Structure 1
Amino acid sequence: MNYLAHLYLSGNDPELKFGNFIADGVRGAQILQFPERIQQGIKLHRLIDQFTDSHAVVKETIERLRPLYKKYAGVVADVYYDHFLAANFQQFSAVPLDVFAEESYAAIQSRPEWLPPKVQTFLPYMVNQNWLVSYAQVWGISKALKGLSRRTTFESNMETAGEELQLNYDFYHQEFNRFFPDLEKYVKEEIERINTLHLKS
Structure 2
Amino acid sequence: MNFLAHLYLSGESEKIMVGNFMADYVKGRKFENYKDEIRKGILLHRSIDSYTDSHPLVSQSGQYFRGTYRKYSAVITDLIYDHFLAKNWEMYHRQPLPHFVSRSHEVLVKNYLVLPKQVKLFLPFLIKSRRLETYADIEGLRTALNIMVRYTSLPDKTDFAIDILLENYSALENEFHSFMREIIAYVVNEKGIELKQLVE
Q: Deviations over 1:144-192 (max 9, x none)?
A: 0111122333635245322322222112101101211000000112332
Matched-pair contact (CA < 8 Å) for 1:70–1:156: no
- 1:82-101 residue pairs with structure 2 within 5 A? 82-101=82-101
Structure 2 SS opposite 1:10: coil
User: How far does the alpha carbon of each residue in 1:22-67 deviate from its partner, in whole angstroms, 9 at most, with x for none?
Assistant: 1011011221111111000000000000000111111101122101
- Give 4+ residue runs of structure 1 displaced > 6 Å after superposition: none
**Quick one: higher RCO (CA 8 Å, sep 6+), 1 or 2?**
2
Equivalent residues of 1:138, 1:166 under 8 A apart: no
SS state at 1:42 partner:
helix
Whole-Å Cα distance in 2 between the matches of residues 154 and 184 of structure 1? 28
Residue 63 (structure 2) pairs with residue 70 (structure 1): no
* Residue identity (%): 37
Equivalences for residues 118-197 of structure 1 within 5 A: 118-153=118-153, 155-192=155-192
From the two aligned structures, give the one with the greater helix fraction. Answer: 1
TM-score by length of 2: 0.92
Q: Give the residue type in structure 1 aligned to 2:117.
A: P
Structure 1 stretches lacking a partner, 5+ long: 195-201
Match of 1:199 in 2: none
The whole-number CA distance in structure 2 between the counterparts of 1:17 and 1:118 is 17
Q: In the alignment, is the contact (CA less than 8 A) between 1:72 and 1:156 conserved in 2?
A: no
**Which residue identity does 2:100 align to in structure 1?**
F
State whether residues 187 and 193 of structure 2, in contact with CA within 8 Å, keep that contact through their aligned partners in structure 1.
no
Total equivalences in the alignment: 194
Greater CA drift, 146-155 or 125-134: 146-155
The answer on 1:9 being equivalent to 2:9 is yes
Instruction: Indicate conservation of the 8 Å contact 1:139/1:162, yes or no.
Output: no
Does the 8 A contact of 2:10 with 2:20 survive in 1?
yes
Q: 2:30 is matched with which residue?
A: 30
- Does the CA contact (< 8 Å) of 1:76 and 1:158 recur in 2? no
Residue 12 of structure 2 aligns to a residue whose secondary structure is: coil
Is the 1:20–1:42 contact (alpha carbons within 8 Å) kept by the matching residues of 2? yes
Q: Report the TM-score when normalising by structure 1.
A: 0.92
Q: Residue 124 of structure 2 aligns to which amino acid in structure 1?
A: P
Matched position secondary structure for 1:192: coil
Report the RMSD for the aligned CA atoms in angstroms.
Answer: 1.6
Aligned match of 1:52: 52
Whether the 8 Å contact between 1:22 and 1:119 is mirrored in structure 2 is yes
Bigger mean CA deviation after superposition, 152-161 or 137-146: 152-161
**Which residues of structure 2 form unaligned runs of 5+?**
195-200
Question: Is this contact kept in 2: 1:23–1:42, CA < 8 A?
Answer: yes
Quote the Cα distance in structure 1 between the aligned partners of 2:56 and 2:145. Answer: 24
